[in-house]
Chains A and B, each alone.
Chain A
Amino acid sequence: MTLFLGKWMKWMLCLAALMLVAGMVLPAAAADEMKPADGAPAVGSSAPAAPVAPAPAFTKEMADAIAGQKIAMDTIWVMLTAFLVFFMNLGFGLVESGFCRAKNTVNILFKNFVVFAVSSVAFLLLGFGLMFGDGNPLFGISGLFFASGADNSPAMGDAYQGVYHALNWTGVPFWAKFFFQLVFAGTAATIVSGAVAERIKFKSFVIFTLFMVAVIYPIGGHLIWGGGWLASKGFLDFAGSTVVHSIGGWAALAGIIVLGPRMGKYGQGGKVNAIPGHSMTSAAIGVFVLWFGWFGFNPGSTMAADGLSIAHVATTTNVAAAAATLSSMIMAWALLGKPDLGMTLNGCLAGLVAITAPCAFVSVPSALIIGIIAGILVVLAVFFFDRIRIDDPVGATAVHLANGVFGTIALGLFADPTVCPAAAVARKGLLLGGGMAQLGPQLLGVGVIAVAVFLLSLGFWYVTKALSNGIRVSEEEEMEGLDYHEHGNSAYPNFQLVERR
């Protein structure tokens, strides 16, 4: 009791002391304010009427100041949206852990957590140089390691004198370019983790992520965004339906094939068993976070504070997500008899993935149509991949691969160079009377990336398998959970986990 009183006394004393100090200081400060500053003329005294000044000449200083302001605004926009894309790691962590079983939660969260750290290092070490360095049509050669090539950003266009010419169209400082591209590389890598969940060794995933961000993603990316072969063919991908999502999806598909399905997923006679995830709460919050993060992913890819384009892209992105959410909900409702939350969450992501390539090149009504198709496509894709026994616990292939491909092709169908300033580089899509002008390169790109990235990934999965002495955990470990065997702890230590298999 005395202790209790003592504590109260101390607090009261502190409070009293504070009040005392405040009482002494505040009046003094107030008095200071009231004192008129020496020599300052009273406001509103008879100032002489100002003569009309002649219009000032447009000086070099003024031009520089305006250019400086533009660089500052562009940089703020690029960095702000990059931070939003970083936040998508949280979304992926929540979606993937929610869609997996409680006994694997530590493992899934750990993979999602470590993947951005590995990406950050791998992209700095080699990935950025390989993707954006000047080089041949297949990969970069200059400024390969530590992103340390010569660079005079934010100089643009012909004024740019460095080794990363592929990024000379944006007027932001070099490390803004690097950081923005880094968070995209991290996203591509994190797509893989959900697809291979609940059965891959932790070690193997870390090793593959290193290959993914240091080599696979940069080579695919160089072809498209790094001034490589597909870029020269007129292939367009505004924010990465192909570069990020399809590449992540192909790598995931290769991983699933090498790993095989989870135990108990497929029964006799083509029977598909459900393996319910442990938290629809996590999954739903995760998709909300991803939807939010996408407002960085797509509008940020202007890489400039270009108001018209940003507003257009944000709107197409949102309308596609909304349309896909509704169409997947209705599709699942029709096929399964009830509105299915898991399918609808995948549907929303499918719309976002599909609009990522065309978001700046298509009109808002076109985005609505693209979203509707994406939502239907993802439901069919989930059934299709289950039918061919591709076990993907979170639907990464149905979302990122199927819709990454669809979105890239949709660009060739719906492109309209007049929708916003950023769209000017596009040619008219098939449905707008442009024939194959834009659709042709898009189809070529989809095919080339499919073959190149799938084979490259397959190769690196086998290298990973060799390096980590098999990439799949033991049957016993899969049954008892990766949390206990891989990490020696559990996500929910105070609950008894009862799982069906």
Chain B
Amino acid sequence: MKKIEAIVKPFKLDEVKNALGEIGVTGMTVLEVKGFGRQKGHTEVYRGAEYVVDFIPKVKIEAAVPAELVPAVLERILTAAHTGKIGDGKIFVYDLEEVIRIRTGERGREAL
């Protein structure tokens, strides 16, 4: 089992969600986050004075998936979240030790 964390542009959330749904990802958790990478924020103007917004709003999608689904998941996210401009985000893949469904107590792949 693997855990996928994808940080994407907020307006790309729907496309990524739909793309993952199509290949059988059954659940995901979404977080509103802020951060920066190499783009290092942007400037805004308020009543005549400029200021730097360091942390740009992003959405983080977390999904736990069977290991064999990972290549398809990555391919789908790469396609759906891609704009080609700076700030498209990143994907992180982790090994997942255990999953437990709280309602039934099922463990491992059964619980995904």
Tell me whether A343 is interfacial, beta carbon within 8 Å: yes
Total interface residues on B, CB under 8 Å, equals 9
Tell me whether B44 is interfacial, beta carbon within 8 Å: yes
Taking CB atoms and an 8 Å cut-off, the chain B residues in 28-51 that contact chain A are 34, 44-51
| B48 near A340: Cβ-Cβ < 8 Å | yes
* Complexed CA–CA distance, A335 and B51 (Å): 16
* Complexed CA–CA distance, A342 and B51 (Å): 15
User: Please, which residues of chain B bring their CB within 8 A of the CB of A382?
Assistant: 47-48
Tell me whether A330 is interfacial, beta carbon within 8 Å: no
Tell me whether A277 is interfacial, beta carbon within 8 Å: yes
User: Please, which residues of chain A bring their CB within 8 A of the CB of B44?
Assistant: 274, 276
Taking CB atoms and an 8 Å cut-off, the chain A residues in 118-162 that contact chain B are none
- The closest CB in chain A to the CB of B47 belongs to A342
Once A273-B51, A276-B51, A500-B51 are accepted as A-B contacts, the answer to whether A342 and B34 lie under 8 Å apart by CB is no
Please classify the interface of chain B as helix (H, G, I), strand (E, B), loop, or mixed, using the class held by over half of its residues.
strand
CB distance from B49 to the nearest CB of A (A): 4
* Complexed CA–CA distance, A118 and B12 (Å): 52
Against B, the Cβ 8 Å flags (1 = close, 0 = not) of A303-318 are 0000000000000000
* Of B44, B46, B51, most A-chain CB atoms within 10 Å: B46
- The closest CB in chain A to the CB of B45 belongs to A336
Tell me whether A379 is interfacial, beta carbon within 8 Å: yes
| A343 near B47: Cβ-Cβ < 8 Å | yes
Once A336-B45, A338-B45, A340-B45 are accepted as A-B contacts, the answer to whether A274 and B50 lie under 8 Å apart by CB is yes
Taking CB atoms and an 8 Å cut-off, the chain B residues in 43-81 that contact chain A are 44-51
* Of B46, B47, B50, B51, most A-chain CB atoms within 10 Å: B47
| B48 near A343: Cβ-Cβ < 8 Å | yes
* Of B34, B44, B48, B50, most A-chain CB atoms within 10 Å: B48
| B34 near A386: Cβ-Cβ < 8 Å | no
| B48 near A383: Cβ-Cβ < 8 Å | yes
Taking CB atoms and an 8 Å cut-off, the chain A residues in 354-397 that contact chain B are 379, 382-383, 386, 395
User: Please, which residues of chain A bring their CB within 8 A of the CB of B46?
Assistant: 274-277, 342
| B47 near A272: Cβ-Cβ < 8 Å | no
CB distance from A327 to the nearest CB of B (A): 15
Tell me whether A196 is interfacial, beta carbon within 8 Å: no
- The closest CB in chain A to the CB of B53 belongs to A500
- The closest CB in chain A to the CB of B50 belongs to A274
User: Please, which residues of chain B bring their CB within 8 A of the CB of A343?
Assistant: 47-48
User: Please, which residues of chain A bring their CB within 8 A of the CB of B45?
Assistant: 274, 336-338, 340
* Complexed CA–CA distance, A338 and B49 (Å): 12
| B49 near A386: Cβ-Cβ < 8 Å | yes
User: Please, which residues of chain A bring their CB within 8 A of the CB of B51?
Assistant: 273-274, 276, 500
CB distance from B40 to the nearest CB of A (A): 15
- The closest CB in chain A to the CB of B52 belongs to A500
* Complexed CA–CA distance, A501 and B77 (Å): 36
| Partner among A275, A336, A498, A500 whose Cβ is within 8 Å of the Cβ of B48 | A336
Tell me whether A420 is interfacial, beta carbon within 8 Å: no
- The closest CB in chain A to the CB of B54 belongs to A500
CB distance from B19 to the nearest CB of A (A): 30
User: Please, which residues of chain A bring their CB within 8 A of the CB of B48?
Assistant: 332, 335-336, 340, 343, 379, 382-383, 386
User: Please, which residues of chain B bring their CB within 8 A of the CB of A276?
Assistant: 44, 46, 51
CB distance from B41 to the nearest CB of A (A): 11
User: Please, which residues of chain B bring their CB within 8 A of the CB of A342?
Assistant: 46-47
Q: List 23 contacting pairs A-B, 8 Å CB cutoff, sorted by A.
A: A273-B49, A274-B45, A274-B46, A274-B49, A274-B51, A275-B46, A276-B44, A276-B46, A277-B46, A332-B48, A336-B45, A336-B48, A340-B45, A340-B48, A342-B47, A343-B48, A346-B47, A379-B48, A382-B48, A386-B49, A395-B47, A498-B34, A500-B51
